[in-house]
Amino acid sequence: MKNFTNSILFSLICIIIFAPALIAQDDWRGSTIETKDNFPYLKDKYEMTLDQTFDTVWEAAKKSIEEINCSIITANTRQDDEGLYRGTIQSDFCIFAVGDTTLVNMRYYSVDLPFIRGGVWANGRMQYKIIVRETQDNKVYVLLNGEISGMESHVTNKVHFWKSNGFKESMMMERIKMHLGLPYELKEQ
């Protein structure tokens, strides 16, 4: 009985001593701080104001999405009471990673990829929403929102969404500039 009591006492002491160390190592990714150095393409908004016509920018935005072999779900325009045009383009989910390189690609384009113990990522995908709006001063304002997601097929069998590092969004803005004949810095093909 004495050995049993000593064994329990020893176990409790070990738990008290080692538990904080085990809990502290629970973050498998380390501390990811979102800075300009870690994620140079990360912005609060992906926007630009262009000295172009609405129709020209609208067609360039549509062509930019189609160029990466992504379907457009909706492309709606309307005119407000002041005669200014506004349009929204929403793409389908554009698959950018499938197969063995899925996890590597998703890490490359993500700020904070979800960790699922034993998870197998089937694909990585991106969806774009582009708002094109004509302004009072005869310019065109473009706002781009991107949403990154992936299908985990082994543990949860669900689609998960998380924060993008901004690379895909920035390259889409550069594609729009390219189709408008403006200077651009396209870093992907």
Question: Per-residue pLDDT tens for 168-178?
Answer: 999 999 999 99
| CA 44 vs CA 41, 79, 135, 153: distances in Å | 10, 28, 21, 31
Angle at 159 between CA 115 and CA 146, to 5 degrees: 90
Amino acid identity, position 117: R
Give this prediction's pTM. 0.78
Please give the backbone phi and psi of residue 56, each rounded to the nearest 5 degrees, phi first. Answer: -65, -45
What is the percent of the chain with per-residue pLDDT over 70, rounded to a whole number?
Answer: 84
Q: In the chain, which ranges are continuous DSSP H helix?
A: 2-24, 54-67, 102-108, 167-179
pLDDT higher than 50, residue 134: yes
User: pLDDT by residue (tens digit) across 71-103?
Assistant: 999 999 999 999 999 999 999 999 999 988 899
Domain ranges of the chain: 30-179
The pLDDT score that the predictor gives to residue 139 is: 96
User: pLDDT by residue (tens digit) across 38-59?
Assistant: 888 889 999 999 999 999 999 9
